[in-house]
Structure 1
Amino acid sequence: MSYMVRPKKSLGQHFLTDLHIAEAIADTLDAYRGMPVLEVGPGMGVLTRYLLDKGHDLTVVELDSESVEYLQEHFPALEGRILEKDFLKLDLAQLYDGEFCVIGNYPYNISSQIFFKILDYKDRIPCCSGMIQKEVAERMAAPPGGKTYGILSVLMQAWYDIEYLFTVPEHVFNPPPKVKSAVIRMTRNQVRQLGCNEQLFKQIVKTAFNQRRKTMRNSLRSLVGKECEVLADPIFDERPERLSVERFIALTNLLENYITS
């Protein structure tokens, strides 16, 4: 029996109803045909159908059991390729031996967590694309200098080139979200190592932006001690949104020998 899946607020479900937009999202992976693709949160398969039509080697991960039943009924090509699991808890290294792409109309309430998980597998994921909240997309793609540039911008741009592709209005969803959406594509850059202590880099970025109105000197004192001579360097006069990824790397190298254990 055919039926429609009821969108569940608890899962942040907003089902895309515009097929042209779904096809345009599927198009973002055209350069990666032949490479395995993992779709996150397919719902009723509006994006899934175009990914299958394009011949992608597709697996989907869906937490909602009602959506899983719908997919099983309507997409026989996905037999054995529907994972009823939480993407955030999935061991992607066990799922794929080599490289794979990730795509989805991502749940807005966990989109940042999804992208941080992508970073954990950055050397296996050459491309990740899909739809997220417009505000998060703008943050990810933001250049240094503005209010939208922050933790997500620096940590993602260190490893990926981020393209903000197009904006999606509210009325093409059921139910309509209260915010606009946007489609992005992240393509792995040529960086294989940052050239600094990568854990410390992450800590410095997060510490700096958690107090983004302060100068770097005031926000990072807690890491090195108030009277540390390194804080005299002019870079500490800056506020975090002024620093590019490269300057955060330089700052990490500058601070490494002064960090109090």
Structure 2
Amino acid sequence: MLGGPEWGQREATPPRDAPLPSFGFTQEQVACVCEVLQQAGNIERLGRFLWSLPACERLHAHESVLKAKAMVAFHRGNFKELYRLLESHNFSAHNHSNLQELWMKAHYLEAERLRGRPLGAVGKYRVRRKFPLPRTIWDGEETSYCFKEKSRTVLRDWYLHNPYPSPREKRELAETTGLTTVQVSNWFKNRRQRDRQAEHKDSGGAGDKQLDSSTDDDSDAPHAAAAHAPPLYPLYEHPLAHLQYHHS
């Protein structure tokens, strides 16, 4: 049992593949269950599993368990606990992206709850400025609308070469930058629309604006339509935008 006279000595710490006291599962098996339930989106079952874990400090300090607790806290609307978890452990880089999404989405939801209305692009920007990512889930690299600067550089360089990448090229760009194909498509649409608006302003024309109406799985050639300019496509399609949260 932990906490005996040998506590603190190396030989007193059981190996990772040893069954946990009064539980029957190893630490790695618990971590595996947490990962599987998260990937399956079975948050209620994940919450029950976490509740059943024994009071073992080394188990509850495992990164997969902490990540699972953060996910459950988010879904239950327990944002204070979510922030505490995310700020209390230096998470591995491969977990940063998902945890950053939880952090930002939670702050967006809190701001929307206070204001009583959805946040627009400017509102979300202000929230991000007010609640920057903690260094425990951020590598320190500058981000812009959730795009790392190196990703934006890749997209800008490609845009100068070809502002209308093919679906195959978008997939390759997504793999290179770590973004989704939808994010890549929307970035190019936004950039083309901004350039058209700038050209229109410089020319002093008063006609209808030329709009980029290519679709996400679009053809490679530009299209134009005479209509009122729509808002820019979201720079960052949030993977957690569809989630519902509940009060614990």
Length-normalised TM-score, structure 1: 0.28
Structure in which a larger fraction of residues adopt strand: 1
* Structure (1 or 2) with the larger CA radius of gyration: 2
Structure in which a larger fraction of residues adopt helix: 2
